Copies of this chain bind each other. A is one copy, B any other.
Amino acid sequence: MEIDTVRQQILEAAEARFSVYGYQKTTMAELAGDCTMSAANLYRYFDNKLDIGAALAKQSMLENEALLEQIVNDGMLSASEKLIAFTRKQLHYTYHYFESAPRLAELVEVITAQRPDVIAAHRHNKLTLLKQLLLAGQAAGAFTFDDVDDTSDAIHSATLLFYFPLTMSLYPLAIMEDKVVHVCQLLLKGLSPTV
């Protein structure tokens, strides 16, 4: 049996349990039971419970990044459409994640506090994708800007409302959708070459 196969099996059991009962209420014994092994044996695959949570969070963030990458590389979309789709995708991912599995908010909380590096890596990967998007738009003549790092950072800051977990409860999804459009329209005007 491959070691990574077992690790993946554990992560799947963890995702199922964490989604329904939350991180804290899930015991190592339960995860072990789901994988038909003893609790002690889990420690041959992960150092501790927090590492299981961190691995799960990392995996989920990579999935999200893959979806965003698809948008950046989509040949059918204009640069402007990509920025809106990019922002809307983040909103939907974060929103639906917590709507379908509100208990997962607890995992995010724990990881944010105990493993900030995992969150920082995700932020870095998103900024890289955003830079790609901007540079492609610039090359196509759709965008103009001075500094690509400053600009991607500014867009990331300005769209915080749409991916920050704690802001998901501020407005219902329909209102958030409107806000995505209005914010992006304003940002896009700022990016458009003055005719």
* A19 to B: closest C-beta gap in Å: 24
| Chain B residues closer than 8 Å to A166, beta-carbon distance | 166
A90 CB–B CB distance under 8 Å: no
A183 to chain B minimum Cβ distance, whole angstroms, is 5
CB of A154 within 8 Å of the partner chain = yes
Q: Does A188 contact B (CB under 8 A)?
A: yes
Minimum CB–CB distance from A117 to chain B (whole Å) comes to 15
The answer to whether the Cβ of A159 comes within 8 Å of any Cβ in the partner chain is yes
Contact A179 B160 (CB under 8 A): no
Chain B residues positioned under 8 Å from A70 (CB to CB)? none
Whole-angstrom distance from the CB of A130 to the nearest CB of chain B?
13
Once the chains bind, are A186 and B179 in contact (CB under 8 Å)?
no
A41 at the interface (CB under 8 A from B): no
Chain A 121-164: CB-based contact to B (< 8 A → 1; otherwise 0): 00000000000000000000000000000110111011111001
Specify the chain B residue showing the minimal Cβ separation from A194: B194
Q: Judge whether B167 and A154 touch: CB under 8 Å.
A: no
Which chain A residues numbered 177 to 192 have a C-beta less than 8 Å away from chain B? Answer: 179, 182-183, 185-191
> Are B157 and A179 neighbours in the complex by a CB distance under 8 Å?
yes
- In the complex, how many angstroms separate the beta carbon of A178 from the nearest chain B beta carbon? 8
- Let me know if A157 and B161 touch, CB within 8 A: yes
> CA separation between A195 and B157, bound complex, in Å?
27
Chain B residues with Cβ below 8 Å from A157 are 161, 179, 182-183
Would you list 30 pairs from A and B whose C-beta atoms are within 8 A, ordered by A residue?
A: A150-B182, A151-B186, A153-B179, A153-B182, A154-B182, A154-B185, A154-B186, A155-B186, A157-B179, A157-B182, A157-B183, A158-B158, A158-B159, A158-B161, A158-B183, A158-B186, A160-B160, A160-B161, A160-B167, A164-B167, A166-B166, A186-B187, A186-B190, A186-B191, A187-B187, A187-B190, A188-B190, A189-B189, A189-B191, A190-B190
